[in-house]
Structure 1
Amino acid sequence: MAPIVLATSLPAEYGFVLLSATTTFIVTQWHAIRVGSFRKAAGVPYPNAYASAEQIATATPEKKQALYLFNCAQRSHGNLLENLHIFLPAMLLAGLKYPLPVAIAGGFWNVFRVLYAVGYTRKDKTNGSGRIVGGALASLLQLVLMGVVGKLGYDVIKA
């Protein structure tokens, strides 16, 4: 059986979408490295994904904060991974029609994910509220890109 070949061409500006996608790989790696530094400071051994409630309850105040911040860093990284598989394909698909706006949106999404991570691990925000602005803005961009992909699908059907 012969392979199916789709005849298509990419817009010249699609390279910016790919560069923006590359930024997501860098941000994801930055998150992972960051979690490792919080893990080391908290003394949470592998393979434990989080510090347990018992560890936190019995810790000294200084250790308690380190354990809490590790959990926040880990949760921030987990949230990124939960959203990456939605965001990245949406960006790559929407960029086929609107490469420059989508590449810019991708850049901002990455900035917002960094703000989310840094805000979540602020020592002065003991309830994790520092993550709200970055998370809300990243989610908004993600929803917009999902809508653009849906619109593109509709346009293809109607064409």
Structure 2
Amino acid sequence: MVSIELPAGYGYVLLSSVSTFAVSIWLSMRVGAFRKRASVPYPFEYASASEIAAASPSAARAKTLFNCAQRAHQNFNENHPTALGALLIGGLRFPLLSAGLGAFWAVNRVAYAVGYTSGKEGGKGRYVGIGWLLAHYVLVGVAGKSAWDLAML
């Protein structure tokens, strides 16, 4: 049997990880609310460009904002596995740094989603939360350093 000793502070890594699950649930509920306002039925993932063009101005706005909410959620889903894996691996050697980066990532994912649905032209409001991308890259680097250090033991 192999045993792994977790470093002091790894609980913060786990708390930071759990915060990303809360963000995921919040994003799902948010998409549902935007879907209802836009009257986009299941199983359609997005309102089509032609559907938006044919809608009244208020309905077109609701459909566009639904698409933005859906895209923010999809972008989260595309990046969550890498961020979560990097957080858990990086935390083995650098628990407080990793936990802080993970929390920063989660908070910025919320800002990204709120900004994306702010109604700014072309979804440009998402740049408010673009800090998640920096945290993501640093987390991957920290995970790489942790893995290297552990491999060299």
Q: TM-score, normalised by structure 2?
A: 0.96
Corresponding residue number in structure 2 for 1:83: 79
The answer for unaligned runs of 5 or more in structure 1 is: none
Corresponding residue number in structure 1 for 2:135: 141
Corresponding residue number in structure 2 for 1:16: 12
Moved over 4 A (4+): none
Give identity over the alignment, percent. 51
The answer for unaligned runs of 5 or more in structure 2 is: none
Quick one: distance in 2 between partners of 1:152 and 1:111?
Answer: 24
**Aligned with 1:60 (options 39, 56, 59):** 56
Corresponding residue number in structure 2 for 1:154: 148
Q: TM-score, normalised by structure 1?
A: 0.92
The Cα shift of 1:157 comes to 3.3
**Mapped contact 2:34–2:66 kept (Cα < 8 A):** yes
Corresponding residue number in structure 2 for 1:132: 127
Quick one: distance in 2 between partners of 1:81 and 1:67?
Answer: 21
Q: CA RMSD in A?
A: 1.0
Quick one: distance in 2 between partners of 1:16 and 1:150?
Answer: 19
Greater Cα radius of gyration, structure 1 or 2: 1
Quick one: distance in 2 between partners of 1:85 and 1:51?
Answer: 27
Aligned positions, number: 153
